Amino acid sequence: MQENIRIESQSQSVLATNKVLRNTYALLGLSLIPTAIGAYIGMSMNFLFAQQHPIIFAIMLLAGMFGLFFAIQANRNNSLGVVFLLALTLFLGVMLGPILQVAFSLNNGAQIVGLAAGGTAAISLLPLKKILALWENF
């Protein structure tokens, strides 16, 4: 009788682990949307202030990032934490704008960005079992 209970609890533990992994991947996929929107906004922005005052810009950037990190940590047990996480990914996407501007100015810049985006999408579309199997070999 004891063995049946133990096996049942182990299967419930595996189901809970799979649910956590599924929710984590869903949140990761959801966070890519504001990142892409932020990168699009960042590419259209003029970062002249960052060129003229790099130290002040870096301090403002770090203050914004750590402020959002703190807000996520403070609200980790309610749904407002997810909103702050999506705001952080939007902010980081905007900060990707200057890097993407430089990449797209190269002759093969579109190919580089497309290959990076395609590789990321291909890895994220792999089934969870295959990803875990790849991690075991690593």
Domain residue spans of the chain: 2-105
CA angle 46, 50, 54 (to 5 degrees): 170
**Per-residue confidence (pLDDT) for residue 30, from 0 to 100:** 86
**Per-residue confidence (pLDDT) for residue 53, from 0 to 100:** 94
Cα–Cα distance, 114 to 1 (Å, whole number): 57
**Per-residue confidence (pLDDT) for residue 94, from 0 to 100:** 94
**Per-residue confidence (pLDDT) for residue 118, from 0 to 100:** 87
**Could you count the other beta carbons within 10 Å of the beta carbon of residue 66?**
10
Element (H, E) at 25: helix 2-44
The residue ranges of the chain whose pLDDT is under 70 are 1-17, 128-129, 131, 134-135, 137-138
Q: Does pTM surpass 0.85?
A: no
Q: Which amino acid is at 51?
A: Q
**Per-residue confidence (pLDDT) for residue 40, from 0 to 100:** 92
Cα–Cα distance, 101 to 34 (Å, whole number): 18
Cα–Cα distance, 66 to 88 (Å, whole number): 10
